[in-house]
Amino acid sequence: MANTKRTKVAVMFGGRSVEHEISVITALQLMQAVDPAVYDVIPVYIAPNGGWYTGSELLDRSFYAQVPASLTRLTEVTLLPKPGIRGLTRLSRGRCGIVQGDSVIPVDVFLPAFHGQYGEDGCIQGLFELADMPYTGSNVVASAITMNKYTCKMYLKEHNIPVLPGLLVSRDQAQRDIGDIVRSVLSSDGFSKLPLFVKPCNLGSSIGVSKVKETHELAPALAKVFRYDTHALIEPCVSEIMEINCSVRDYNGVQASVVEVPVSQSGVLSYEEKYLRGGGKKTGQSQGMASLTRVIDPQDLDAEIRDRVVELAKRSFALLGCSGVARLDFIVDLASGALYFNELNAFPGSCSFYLWVRSRPRVLYTELIHNMIETALKHHATAASLDRNIGLRALKN
């Protein structure tokens, strides 16, 4: 008789990030695409206040319009950093409001669908490692490096991946003397010519990004970043620009999807263009990154540029030690023909499924998720095979 036991997958989303709602959209899409014959989905929502919750209501999009009041209908849970528990611990309120562990909801593998800090940056991955639980996506180190745009660029630059120059400005520096920071930036080699791009160093979804066209706009652009992040990344603006993105995964080797050319109406892909155009504001049914205006697998794109993007995307993914499904964004300077790595999204919006369904061979979203889980279980089995216990010999001497 065939084994009909379904793998229990805890899909985690939300979190303490300004990209919270984008994570919810991605997770809802993902949970609808999971094969119910193979997997038993356990939705795990981390509310903006940091509480963890599970319940079937989380599968209903309308639930989130009533948060935080609707959270009382859910079961509060947590993941204890202790190997062997193999699941989520239910929490209950004891005397004097003390939270107590009650029982365990079994989990076979975690699928974090977070965007941004505390979910995509190595924090939750460290907890999975402490709990000795399989999880999809990149490990602690790769997640931390790729979340920090400046660190990621400098690392890849050292490995001969072309990147644009970048200046890092901390909030502390700006608070001490913003005028001095502005003068220092504008006098730096390669940054005296406007416009410049100013963006949060540790965020995605185009939140907090500004295009500085006049000198007096630089200080307000930095202040905008520091609403969301402690560090700002400043880059020169490529005036004649074409953006090209490519998704990469590690399943039976490192594989790349077809490329895409996103289309911006403003010259800067904003949060509104990415997530509210063609949906959110009018219908409330934003489809996340899948709804962005883009040209997928453009037939008129120079084959040499396309092949170079794919090559650099696969190399960067491997150099950084990424896993799961990532999206790598590149910039082409149309005036010079130069190609630059821009940034890497360790867990991209909508999981970049729209690029894989157009790839050759075609990979459907359901298969993409299945392969991610298979890879996660394989990586965990490999780690479990390592000998980590050499005894207490030094302490016994």
CA distance 86 to 231: 37
Does residue 279 register a pLDDT over 70?
Answer: no
* CATH superfamily of domain region 146-162+240-382: ATP-grasp fold, B domain (3.30.470.20)
Given a contact cutoff of 8 angstroms between Cβ atoms, the answer to whether 352 and 259 are in contact is: no
Q: What average pLDDT does the chain have? A: 90
Instruction: Please give the CATH topology (third level) of the domain spanning 167-236.
Output: Dna Ligase; domain 1 (3.30.1490)
Peptide bond into 195 cis (omega under 30): yes
CA distance 364 to 355: 10
Query: What integer pLDDT is reported at residue 207 of this predicted model?
Result: 83
Q: Would you list the domain boundaries of the chain?
A: 7-135, 146-162+240-382, 167-236
Given a contact cutoff of 8 angstroms between Cβ atoms, the answer to whether 260 and 245 are in contact is: yes
Q: What is the pLDDT of residues 69-93, one digit of tens each?
A: 999 999 999 999 999 999 999 998 7
Please give the structure tokens belonging to residue 370: 């299945």
Given a contact cutoff of 8 angstroms between Cβ atoms, the answer to whether 129 and 30 are in contact is: no
Q: How many secondary structure helices (H) and strands (E) does the chain include?
A: 13, 16
Query: What integer pLDDT is reported at residue 244 of this predicted model?
Result: 97
Pick from 7, 11, 12: which is nearest to 39 by CA? Answer: 7
**108 residue type, one letter:** D
CA distances from residue 149 to 85, 166, 341 in whole angstroms, order as listed:
35, 10, 11
Given a contact cutoff of 8 angstroms between Cβ atoms, the answer to whether 113 and 24 are in contact is: no
Query: What are 343's strand-pairing partners?
Result: 329
Tokens 């200046």, residue located: 167
Which one of 3.40.50.20, 3.30.565.10, 3.40.50.720, 3.40.50.1820 gives the CATH number of domain 7-135?
3.40.50.20
Given a contact cutoff of 8 angstroms between Cβ atoms, the answer to whether 174 and 184 are in contact is: no
Confidence of residue 287 (pLDDT cuts 50, 70, 90): low
CA distance 310 to 304: 10
**369 residue type, one letter:** I
Q: What are phi and psi of 284, to 5 degrees?
A: 75, 10
Q: What is the pLDDT of residues 142-155, one digit of tens each?
A: 999 999 999 999 99
Q: What is the strand order of the sheet 75-78 is part of?
A: 99-106, 87-93, 75-78, 52-54, 39-46, 7-14, 109-112
Instruction: List the Cα angle 77/326/163 in 5-degree steps.
Output: 130
Q: What is the pLDDT of residues 214-236, one digit of tens each?
A: 999 999 999 999 999 999 999 99
Of 161-175, 196-210, 258-272, 378-392, where does the model show the most confidence? 161-175
Please give the structure tokens belonging to residue 150: 């400046």
pTM: 0.89
DSSP 8-state class, residue 163: B
Query: What integer pLDDT is reported at residue 267 of this predicted model?
Result: 53
Pick from 344, 346, 352: which is nearest to 324 by CA? Answer: 346
Please give the structure tokens belonging to residue 290: 């899948």
Confidence of residue 203 (pLDDT cuts 50, 70, 90): confident
Q: What is the pLDDT of residues 96-107, one digit of tens each?
A: 666 777 799 999
Query: What are 231's strand-pairing partners?
Result: 170
Does residue 274 register a pLDDT over 70?
Answer: no
Given a contact cutoff of 8 angstroms between Cβ atoms, the answer to whether 355 and 249 are in contact is: no
